[in-house]
Chain A
């Protein structure tokens, strides 16, 4: 067993896991508070990626500007869909919200492809910087950029969630499904902030991903399954669980890919998910699930 490829896989997995922890955090908070898996998450990420590309094409080639606009635009779109669709479905079943989110996913993706087509796009990243190579262990400078940005965003998120009254309310509701059912707690403000944050993180995750990967319409939707698996791994509604789950998933997928090839990424995610649901459906940090 060669050490170098494994170390590189760990590094890559850490970068991916960290940047994906942003949309995964979004999923877990929405899942915890609104009690449905948001199928539009992937396409919100795609929106972020395409917004960044568009910003660079039309406004300026600054990467920072692209990242900011991606996050802000996606946040606004997320709030829009909350106000139009999800708010009206607040008293309906989880399944209704799930199916509606699927519709939102399609609408977002096809609006993008109508204008951008099925072509591939890339983000401009200024001077192409070579990877730092230390005895075969490679670290890309852009990876460092991604890590710092993602960690910074996570830091802000955790400050909001743990130090502000609004954030504490969100966490309390996300963690306790019975509390979530008592609609008194879910005020308009909590929901608006929830979706603002979710959208922002999905968009940010999308553009960070675009730095590493080619931008295609399926960018986000492809990742839905693994992301949901990571959410369940960490425990639904648990922010720390989301980050931990994302890292574990990212790193283990990269290592597994060394042995079974990239097509099997989804299969592995699926199998892990199945095993989880069989033996520990509440994930690492969640509460045991009870029927009433």
Chain B
């Protein structure tokens, strides 16, 4: 039981890092990023490949985070000149392209076979039975630090400007500021967070495959930030817990209800997510903790 709870917590904490990044993108800057899982993938594979080459895990993870943030830069340059409709399409294309390349470039990633044997975090430093607990505690600490960091950013003048960009980009231009600069930085910061989450994923699971990085993951994170309130950090945390709780809990529903197969359960799960998206947008777009504003979604 305990190990199961630890595993769930790790899942929540990894997703939470991603959700904080997406919240920065959408909740605070108004960027509709449908390709977040692409950053997750880049972080994962980069850290894994670096570690497999002998780079110490902490260094690999830092490198992965930085590389992912850098990868967001060209995407920003191109996509941020235009409105959110286009950004959604382009970012989706980005993450799908990343997944396709991970699948095809077998010389690098072993494609669909997956990448096994990734060095496990704390391997050799801590007794094997305690490693998962250690990973969870590390993630807890990292999440705490990231919360602090994002809070500082959001409450700063930079944070004010990105919220202004979200609310009225044209007016930001009229104040002599270039929205593209701010959007790109926000994109890079959020991408870095997703990359960091990916690095944790790689050194926890020790096995990666392109199937772990499908668009569905991006939309799980979207639900997480929507449910709690996209521009409230506490809401993001709450939403992530609810979302993962739902995903995990739905596995047990099958045991109680019976009569439906695992495959059907998977359909039900995603059906609920789709309905949640529709209902939240229709009736409570600000999420649980968000407040109704003068002009929001």
A-to-B contact residues, CB < 8 Å: 31, 35-37, 85, 88-89, 92-96, 98-100, 102-107, 109-111, 113-114, 117-118, 224-225, 228-229, 232, 261, 263-264, 266-267, 269-271, 273-274, 277-278, 281, 289, 291-292
Q: Which of A35, A98, A110 meets B267, CB within 8 Å?
A: A110
In B156-192, the 8 Å CB interface with A consists of: 170, 173
Using A114-B268, A270-B93, A277-B86 as known contacts, list a sample of 8 further A-B pairs with CB atoms less than 8 Å apart, ordered by residue number in A: A94-B85, A96-B281, A99-B222, A224-B92, A232-B86, A263-B104, A274-B90, A291-B173
Inter-chain contacts of B278 with A (CB < 8 A): 85, 100, 103-104, 107
> Which B residues, 250 to 297, have Cβ-Cβ distances below 8 Å to chain A?
263-264, 266-268, 270-271, 273-279, 281-282, 285, 297
Report whether B96 and A266 are in contact in the complex, using a CB–CB cutoff of 8 Å. Answer: yes
Q: Name B89's closest neighbour in chain A (CB-CB).
A: A228
A36 touches B85 (CB 8 A): yes
Could you say which of A107, A117, A269 contacts B271, with CB atoms under 8 Å apart? A107
Bound CA–CA A95/B25 (angstroms): 14
Task: Indicate whether A273 sits within 8 Å of B100 (C-beta atoms), given known contacts A99-B222, A110-B267.
Answer: no
Asked if B93 and A229 make an inter-chain contact with CB atoms under 8 angstroms apart, the answer reads yes
- Smallest CB gap from B74: residue in A: A274
Are A289 and B93 in contact, CB atoms less than 8 angstroms apart? no
**Is there an interface contact between B276 and A95, defined as CB atoms closer than 8 Å?**
no
Question: B103 on the interface (CB 8 Å rule)?
Answer: yes
Count of inter-chain pairs, beta carbons less than 8 A = 133
Residue of A35, A99, A114, A117 near B281 (CB, 8 A) is: A99
Q: Is B131 an interface residue (CB 8 A)?
A: no
Chain A residues positioned under 8 Å from B282 (CB to CB): 85, 88-89, 100
CA distance A117 to B90 in the complex (A): 30
Whether A103 lies near B90 (C-beta < 8 A) is: no
CA gap between A263 and B210 in the complex, in Å:
13
A94, chain B: closest CB distance, angstroms: 6
- State in angstroms the CA–CA spacing of A261 and B100 once bound together: 11
Interface of B is mostly: helix
Residues of A within 8 A of B78 (CB): 274, 277-278
The CA of A266 and the CA of B90, in the complex, are separated in Å by: 11
- Pair B97/A267 contact, Cβ less than 8 Å: yes
Does B81 make an interface contact (CB < 8 A)? yes
In the complex, are the beta carbons of A94 and B84 less than 8 A apart? yes
What's the least CB distance linking A271 to chain B, in Å? Answer: 8
**What A residues does B270 contact at CB under 8 A?**
106, 109-110
Question: Measured between C-beta atoms, what is the minimum distance from B55 to chain A in Å?
Answer: 28
Task: Enumerate chain B residues within 8 angstroms of A99, measured Cβ to Cβ.
Answer: 222, 226, 277, 281, 297
Interface contact B85-A105, CB-CB below 8 Å: no
Cα-based distance from A224 to B100 in the complex (angstroms): 15
Rounded to whole Å, the gap between the CB of A282 and the closest CB of chain B is 10
Given A266-B100, A270-B94, A103 contacting B277 (CB threshold 8 A): yes
Q: Are B97 and A270 in contact (CB under 8 A)?
A: yes
20 pairs, CB–CB < 8 Å, chain A vs chain B: A85-B278, A92-B281, A93-B297, A95-B84, A99-B281, A106-B273, A106-B277, A107-B275, A110-B267, A110-B271, A114-B268, A225-B93, A266-B96, A270-B97, A274-B78, A277-B79, A281-B82, A281-B86, A291-B173, A292-B170
